[in-house]
Amino acid sequence: MRPDSSARTRAPWREVLARAAQWSFTLQTWLMVVCLVVMMVLLFGNVTLRYVFNSGINVSDELSRLAFVWLIFIGAVLALREHQHLGVTMLVQRFGPAARRVTHLACQALVLWVLWLMADGGWRQTVIGMDTDLPVTGLPIAVFNAAVLYAAVVMMVLTVLDILSVLTGGPVPLDAQQDDPLA
């Protein structure tokens, strides 16, 4: 296999960042798998125990709900990285490359503002939740709110990196590329 010529021209720090990001997102993918397995095992085990043995796992509902919340927010981070969130590009597809770049940067600035609001609210709710415990497990309710804070902060970092990439002449991501089959 021949090495990619663009990989040879990249700065070494970009390679290190790319490897670190890939490792981080692989870890997050596995965390999603763990959350899904925990949910399946706890819920299936609880249903089986209730109907077969007339007993159950007390912490099953709380832990599976916690795993579900973290699964959703980790998935949102991974979707942002892959530009898989919903977007309406009908108008942007008609723009030229320069207008598409400007539009993408304006949209990313709005995304940053919304993520700041999300991070601020997530932080406030996490702090409030530190004093309230879940009834069965005794965990602080902040473990739920921390998922929002985590997702907002990581998505802010990804958005800033995307903005810097576009500002330094990098390609506009696929969600803003012209891919109209009629063009």
Nearest 10 degrees: Cα torsion 143, 146, 147, 150: -150
Residue carrying structure tokens 């004093």: 131
The residue type found at 51 is: Y
Tens digits of pLDDT across the chain (183 residues): 445 544 455 567 667 777 877 888 889 899 999 999 999 999 998 888 888 888 888 888 889 999 999 999 999 999 888 877 777 777 777 888 888 889 889 999 999 999 999 999 999 999 999 999 989 888 999 999 999 999 999 999 989 988 888 888 777 775 544 454 434
d(C-alpha 126, C-alpha 122), whole Å: 6
DSSP 140: B
Cα 57 to chain centroid, rounded: 30
